Amino acid sequence: MKRFYNKTIYETMGEIVAPEHTALVVWDVQNALVNSIFNKKQFLANLKALIDAAREKGISIIYTKITPLAPDYNSSWSIYMTMKRYGVDDPAKLPQFMKPGTTDADIPADVAPSEKDVVINKHTASVFIGTHVEYMLRNKGIDSIVFTGIATEFGVASSARDASNRGFYPVVANDCVSSRDKEMHEASLKVLSGICIVVPCAEIIREWK
């Protein structure tokens, strides 16, 4: 650890993920997405271990959930991209994705939030856009954010980049993020390693013991 002007520069993993200034983000771990990833069993096991370790240390945990806007409040671009994803040529034919109250939208029981955790219903691919998350983290003295969840190349990557741009230490637990596309997942982790700290969850858990 170094002092430089009025800044504290964390250097080791222990300093970077110290419980007193670290938060854990669990991004969009909802059944519809979990059931689509290439490594569901191992992903859930790793994520549970990391969440359990965070809770033991009293680390702040923030869950996000995809909560779609009504079509008339959604953007044209978002509707267009959803049409492409589902392969339909008429937006009226789109299924309702992640409808609140459905099993698809639920978080699996083994990694579900506790009463102390924060759950953010959001509409974008960044934890910082359209939410109060940055305000909450600043108020709590958080400097480092550990990112987990689905999908690596979408919301996880966007949020980690945005964290870096805002001056947080972004840490991606590489075996606690996943995707339906293994190649995209691996490519995204490679890119993220240039702007984030990308490590397996065991390395983070070791620092929290």
pLDDT confidence tier of residue 69, bands split at 50, 70 and 90: confident
Does the domain at 17-67+105-208 match CATH 3.40.640.10? Answer given as: no
| Closest listed residue to residue 161, CA positions, set 184, 127, 130 | 127
CB 147 within 8 A of CB 117: no
pLDDT tens-digit profile of 150-195?
999 999 999 999 999 999 999 999 999 999 999 999 999 999 999 9
- The reported pLDDT for the residue numbered 99 is 84
Q: Which range among 16-30, 46-60, 82-96 shows the weakest confidence by mean pLDDT?
A: 82-96
The ranges of the chain annotated as CATH 3.40.50.850 are 17-67+105-208
Does residue 137 carry a pLDDT above 90? Answer: yes
pLDDT tens-digit profile of 104-132?
999 999 999 999 999 999 999 999 999 99
User: Whole-prediction pTM value?
Assistant: 0.94
Q: Is 21 helix (H, G, I), strand (E, B) or coil?
A: helix
Q: Is 84 helix (H, G, I), strand (E, B) or coil?
A: helix
DSSP annotation of 153: I
